[in-house]
Chains A and B, each alone.
Chain A
Amino acid sequence: MTELLTETIVQEPHRIRGLEMPWNRVMGSTEGPASAARALGPWHPQEFMAECVEIVPEVGGMMTFVFRRCDGAPLAFRAGQYVNVAFPVNGEDQDPADRSYSLSSAPTKPWTFDITVKRDPTGLVSPWVHQNIKPGTVLEMLGPVGAFHLPDADRRARYLLLAAGAGITPIMSMVRTIHSLPGQADVVVLYHGAADEGFAFNKELAYIASVDSRIRVFYSLGDRAKPADWEGLSGRLTAAMLNEVAPDANGRQVYACGPEGYLNTATELLGNVGVDDTSIHMEFFTGDRQTILEYQAELALAVDIAEEIAEEIADSAEDYYEGQPAAFGLYEPGYDAEGTLQATGMPLETVDPDAPEASDDGSDAGAEVSTPDASSFETVGTGSLTLSFMRTGINVRVDPTEHILGPAQRAGVRIGANCKEGMCGSCKVVKLSGEVEMNHQGGIRAREIDAGKFLPCCSTARTDMVIDA
C-alpha cells in the first residue's frame, strides 16, 4: 500500500510585533543588567585571541572557519559586523598580514563565531588561510567593527538583503539572526552568483526559507550562461528584478554587500524604485582608494577604542561597564544613541525623582531652587523631621504622623488647597528630595508621582525633605 503525503495546512505562528535583539532590553534596563546577559553587551571592539575549532568547506571556493575566544568570553557583535584578523602568513616571527572578514554566524549564538573566506588564487592571504588554518590554530583578532548591521530594535523590520558572491557572508549573519529570533519581520534576500554551484550556504538558505515564512530567498545567475535545469532568476541586478522580488522595496531597509561595481549599480537602481538614500546600507568587499581609506579609518578608530577599553578593564571592571555607553556610541549611527531603544515602544526612560527639573508643567522650579542654602533658613515648629521649603525659604519641623500641608501652611508656605482629602489636587507640589507616604484619592496621577510630585494634604514625611514650594 502506498501512503501519499498529503498537503498539511500549517498555521502561521503568532508573533510579537517587530524585531528586537536579545541584548536590547538588557542595555535599556536601568539597574545593572544581569551579569550573564551583560556579557553580550560590549559593543566596542576589543583585541583578543581566538582558537579555530572547526572548518566547514562551502561551495563556491569558500571555507568557513569556526572560532571561539581563548578567554572563554562570548563574542558580542551585531549581525553584519566584521573582525580584523592578523594572519601570520610569513611565519610567527614576521609581521602578520591584517585582513577584515565579515562574521557570517549569528550573534545569538555567541560562544563561537564564524568567518567565511573565499579563496582568491592570486591573493596573498586567502590561499594561505585555506591551507594553514586548522582546528587548534590560534589567531589575534580585533572586533567587532563596522556600522553595517541590523538595528537593535525595529518594529517594522522589513528588509531587502542584497548579496553578490562572497557578499553573502554578512547577509548570512543577518538571515541567521532573524531566523533565530521571535518577532515579526519581512525579509527578501536576493543573492547573485557567478555559477550555479557558487552559492555558498544555499542548502541552509533553502532550509530557512522553507521553514521560516518571514524569509524569502531569490537567486540570480548573473550574466553567465545558465544550465538547463536552473530555476532561479538570471541576469545582473535590474530595476525590473528588484520590482519582481520586492515590489515594496521603497518601504524596506536595504542591506547590500558585494564588490564595488555591483553596489554602485544597486545604489542607482534602488533610487529608481523609490528607496530613500537613508534606507540603504552598504558594505564593500572591493573598493577604490577612498573606500579602502574609509575602512582603514574605521579600523584605526577600532584599535583606539579597543586600547581605551583594555585600559579601563585593567583599572576596574566596574568602570569598564560604566564606560560602555560612550564607547559604543562611536560605532553607531545617530539613532542608536538617541532612539533605537525607545523605538520598541517600551518606557525605557526613567525619571530621577531627585532631579530638580522633575516638574513637567514647564515651571522653572528646578533652576531657581537649587541655589538657596536651606541651612541658612529660619526653622519653625517641632518634630523629628525637617522639611525645607526652597521657594519660601523656611525649614518646618514635623512629626512623621502629621500631614505635611497643615504645618507648612501655618509656617507661611503658600500652597493652595481645597479638599484636603487628596481628591482635588490643588495642593500638588514637587519634592526635590526625601520620601513621603501618600494616601490620595485620585487627585494625582501615577506619572505625576513618578515625576516627583505629591499632595501634601494627604502625605506624611518619612524622611527629611526638600520641597519646591
Chain B
Amino acid sequence: MSAPVLPLNSRGKLASSLPAEQLAEISALFEFRRKGYSLDAPFYTDATIFKMDMEAIFGQHWIFAGSVAELPEPGDYITVDYGPYSLIVLRNDDGGVNVLHNVCRHRGARVLTEAAGATGNLVCGYHSWTYSPEGNLIHASAPGEAKFDKNCFALKRAHGREVAGLIFVCIADEPPTDFDETSRIFEPYLAPHDLSKTKIAYQQNIIEEGNWKLVMENNRECYHCDGHPELACSLFPTWGLTEGLIPAHLEEVWDRNKEAQSSLEERCRRYGLPYEVVEELDTRIAGIRISRESLDGEGESFSADGRRLSKKLLGDLPDFRLGRCSMHLQPNSWFHFQSDHVITFGVFPINEHQSLVRTTWLVADDAVEGVDYDLEKLTYTWKQTNLQDKAFVELCQTGAGSPAYEPGPYMKSEYQVEAFINWYVQRVQEHLA
C-alpha cells in the first residue's frame, strides 16, 4: 500500500516519530534511573517522554477499556481515548467485541463522537462515510468517481478481548502473548461475581492534573491512607504493611485485620473462592496483583460500618461477607470486586500533565435503585477517596514541575509503587532496544 502510514505502523522504528537526539536523551534517562526512587521530573512533565509512553506502553500493551456492563447488547459501544488515540469498542452481533480506530478513512474525522451509545452501522458525521460494525466501508457517496474502491478504506482495526466480563484492547500489531497467562490467573477470582449480570449504577469521569504514572503510583500504596478518612472505615489502613512494619498506632487495627482475614479465608475455602495473593507486578509483561482481602467492620463492602451497599448478591455468590477481591493490572487499571458491587478504575492519559480517571460502580442487574441500593451511599466512599487522590496526584505533579524537585525514596510500604515503575522502565527499555 502506498497510502501514508502512521509512524506506529513502522513497527519498532521509534526514529520515525522521535528524533534520534531526543531518543538518545530519553534512553540515557532510563539508563540512569535510580532504583527505589521516584522518577526524574521529565518523566512526569515532558511532552516527548509522554509521546514515548504512548508508543511503548499504551501502543504495545493490553489496556483496560471497560466492562461488559457498558456494552451489554449488540450495537452498544464505548469510545476510549488515550493520548492521541481514540478507539471504538463495539459489541458485535456474534457477542464479541470489535475494536476500531475512531478515525474516518476519508478526512480523519472522529466517526463516533459520544462516549457511549448504540449504533447499527457507523456513520461519520462529516461526509457520511458509512462503515459496517466490522469497520468495512459500505457506503460513501462518490459522484463521478470512477475508480473509487471502497475496499481500500476500512476503519483500522485493533485487538479486543473480554475476560471475566472485563474488556481489554491493544493497538499493537502483535499484542503481548502472556496476557493469556495473566487471564488464567485472574479469571477464577472474578468469574463468581458474574459481570455479565451487572449494570452500571454510576460512572464518574475525573480529569486529574497529573501524569498518568503519578495516578498509578498513588493507587499502589496506602502510606497516604490517613488522607482517606472515609475509605479508612472499611479498608484496613494497614494495607501494604507486613509483620514488623506496623506502627504502634495501628497495632490494634493490624490484629483486627489478621482475625478478619482468617475468617474470610475460611469462608473462601468453604465456597471454593480463590483468595491467595498472586503478585507479578513486574515479573511478567502483563503485570498483575490479585487477592481477596478482608474489609473492616462487617466485612461486606466499602461502607462506614462495612455493611453491604446493595442488597442483591452478585452472580451465584452465597454470602455477603466476602471482603474485596482486588486486582491491579499494568498499566492502567485496578478493581474492587465485593459481593454486592464491583468498582472498576481505568486511567486514560490525555497528555503529560492530565489524565482521565474513569470509575464505574456496577451492581446486580436486577438491583433497583432506591430499593436495593441508595446511589449516594453506594458511591460515597470512593467518590470522596477519588477526590482526595486527585488532590494528592496534583500536589505531586506541581512538585515535579519545580526546579527544586529531585527523586525521593519509596518506603518499604511502597514496594508496589517501585514494582510499577520497574515494570514501566523495563517495558520502555525493551521497546527502545
Residues in A lying within 8 Å of B, measured CB to CB: 155-156, 158, 186, 247-248, 250-251, 274, 276, 278-279, 334-335, 338-339, 342-343, 345, 418-419, 421, 423-426, 441-445, 447-448
Contact = CB atoms under 8 A, between A and B. Distances in A.
Interface stretch (B210-218, B312-320, B399-407, B422-430): B312-320
B74 interface: yes
Contact of A424 (B130, B307, B312, B316): B130
Interface size class of B (residues with CB under 8 A): 35 or more
Q: Which 9 A-B pairs have the closest CB atoms?
A: A418-B128, A424-B130, A419-B139, A251-B319, A248-B319, A343-B366, A248-B318, A424-B123, A251-B318
Contacts of B308: 276
Contacts of B138: 423, 441-442
Interface in B266-316: 267, 270-271, 298, 300, 307-308, 311-313, 316
Contact of A425 (B120, B141, B270): B120
Contact of A247 (B121, B270, B307): B270
B128 A447 contact: no
A419 B132 CA distance: 13
Given A251-B319, A445-B75, A424 B121 contact: yes
B313 A424 contact: no
B371 interface: yes
Contact of B321 (A250, A338, A426, A443): A250
A155 B123 CA distance: 40
Contacts of B316: 156
Contacts of B317: 251
Contact of B371 (A279, A334, A423): A334
Contacts of A247: 267, 270, 319
B339 interface: yes
B181 to A, nearest CB: 31
Contact of A418 (B73, B74, B130, B132): B130
B8 interface: no
B368 interface: yes
A274 B305 CA distance: 12
Given A155-B366, A444-B120, A426 B318 contact: no
Contacts of B319: 247-248, 250-251
B197 A345 contact: yes
A443 B368 contact: no
A424 B123 CA distance: 6
B130 A339 contact: no
Interface in B127-153: 128, 130, 132-133, 138-139, 141
A445 B130 CA distance: 15
Contacts of B270: 247-248
Nearest to A186: B318
B419 interface: no
Interface secondary structure of B, over-half rule? loop
Interface string B177-205: 00000000000000000000100000000
Given A155-B366, A338-B371, A419-B130, A274 B121 contact: no
A451 to B, nearest CB: 11
Contacts of B133: 442
Contacts of B311: 276, 278-279
Given A276-B307, A424-B139, 9 more contacts: A250-B320, A251-B318, A276-B308, A345-B365, A418-B139, A419-B130, A424-B123, A445-B75, A447-B73
A421 to B, nearest CB: 7
B128 to A, nearest CB: 4
A419 B318 contact: no
15 contacts: A156-B316, A248-B270, A248-B271, A248-B319, A251-B313, A276-B308, A335-B368, A338-B371, A345-B197, A418-B128, A418-B141, A419-B128, A425-B123, A444-B120, A445-B119
A423 B130 contact: yes
Nearest to B299: A274
A88 B348 CA distance: 77
A251 B315 CA distance: 12
Nearest to B322: A251
A338 to B, nearest CB: 7
B368 A423 contact: no
A247 B266 CA distance: 11
Nearest to B127: A418
Contacts of A345: 197, 365-366
A138 to B, nearest CB: 43
Given A424-B121, A424-B130, A425-B120, A274 B371 contact: no
Interface string B64-84: 000000000111000000000
Contacts of B320: 250-251, 274, 276
A273 B119 CA distance: 48
Nearest to A158: B318
Contacts of B312: 156
Residue among B119, B130, B197, B311 with max Cβ neighbours from chain A (10 Å): B130
Contact of A251 (B339, B365, B366): B339
A339 B321 CA distance: 26
A180 B329 CA distance: 47
Given A248-B318, A424-B139, A442-B121, A339 B366 contact: yes
Interface string B100-131: 00000000000000000011110100001010
Residue among B118, B121, B368 with max Cβ neighbours from chain A (10 Å): B121
A441 B139 CA distance: 11
A269 to B, nearest CB: 16
Nearest to A249: B319
Nearest to A416: B128
A423 B121 contact: yes
Contacts of A251: 313, 317-320, 339
Contacts of A155: 366
A222 to B, nearest CB: 28
Nearest to A184: B316
A445 B371 contact: no
Contacts of B128: 418-419, 424, 426
A442 B368 contact: no
Given A250-B319, A418-B130, A426 B123 contact: yes
A335 B371 contact: yes
Nearest to A338: B368
